[in-house]
Amino acid sequence: MKELLYLYCITKDKPLICNFEDLGIKTHPIYFQGTYAIVSSVSPDDFNEDNLKKHLADMGWVEKNIRLHEKVIEEIMKGQVVLPFKFGTVFENEANVEKLLKTNGLEFKAVLASLDGKEEWGLKIYCNSEYFKDALCRGNERITEIDKEILAAGKGKAFFLKKKKDEIIKDVINEKISEYTKDCFERLKVTAVDTKINNILPKEVTEKQEDMVLNTAFLINKERLKGFVNVLAYLKTKYLNKGLILDCTGPWPPYNFCQKAHDG
């Protein structure tokens, strides 16, 4: 069976690195009127439509191949701006890749120009719920008042007051999480060219004990990266004793800021 072409990313310059020996991958560029598609040959046993669907049910296979996909793009982006494509983007032949470049060439060039000199950084904020709850309850007037009512109440009334206290604690926690995460986001947003708020991920995905309370991406001008890092350091210190954990990673391929080009 004829091999397929697997697309990693689009660039405006020919990449210097093509042979990723440590990954067992050799890429090559396909050029069309000012843009390059960076592809590698892959077996239809893995990547034709039917076989890919079967493999997607195997998390071990998916994780291994997504990691390879990311590593190739991250290496290429060290030397230039990239427009990354999602895992599993496959074409039958070079003519189809060229058609993609021809149809979307202007859009690809515009997005590449908008991303030039910029980096994507991700920020995920986690909350240590028990620590956060304890920190909030100490000295909170609403909770202090209801504690006094519970102590003074009879057994029956105390039961309902305790339920009310649980609701108050829940409200206070939600209010404070909203207040704190908004503060973090707004302060960092000032240093960014663009921002994206993503869906909160469950513990099954994050594999962390703490609950995720904010999932964001920032597009940062490389010349202003120091400002972003300084604000982040301030926020980490500010919320250190409030039960929040700020986990910032990057630079990443700018997936969050090139969706329009992929839809094009």
Of 19-23, 88-92, 156-160, minimum mean pLDDT range: 156-160
Q: What is the mean pLDDT of residues 172-197?
A: 92
pLDDT-above-90 percentage for the chain: 50
pLDDT of residue 135: 67
pLDDT at 108 over 90: yes
**pLDDT tens string 207-263:** 888 889 999 999 999 999 999 999 999 999 998 888 889 999 999 999 999 865 555
**pLDDT tens string 57-81:** 888 888 888 999 999 999 898 888 9
3-class secondary structure, 213: strand
pLDDT of residue 57: 84
**Residue-by-residue DSSP string for 22-80:** GGTEEEEEEEETTEEEEEEEE-HHHHSHHHHHHHTT-HHHHHHHHHHHHHHHHHHHTTS
Distance CA 41, CA 18 (A): 12
Which of 52-56, 61-65, 187-191, 206-210 shows the highest mean pLDDT?
187-191
Distance CA 68, CA 49 (A): 19
pLDDT of residue 107: 92
Say if residues 83 and 10 touch (Cβ distance below 8 Å): yes
pLDDT-above-70 percentage for the chain: 92
Indicate the DSSP class of residue 93: S
136 vs 179: which has the higher pLDDT? 179
pLDDT of residue 45: 87
pLDDT of residue 264: 45
pLDDT of residue 261: 52
**pLDDT tens string 124-135:** 999 887 777 776
Distance CA 130, CA 207 (A): 18
State both tokens at 211.
């609950």
pLDDT at 139 over 50: yes
Query: What CA–CA distances, in Å, run from 55 to 6, 22, 70, 118, 132?
Result: 15, 23, 18, 34, 41
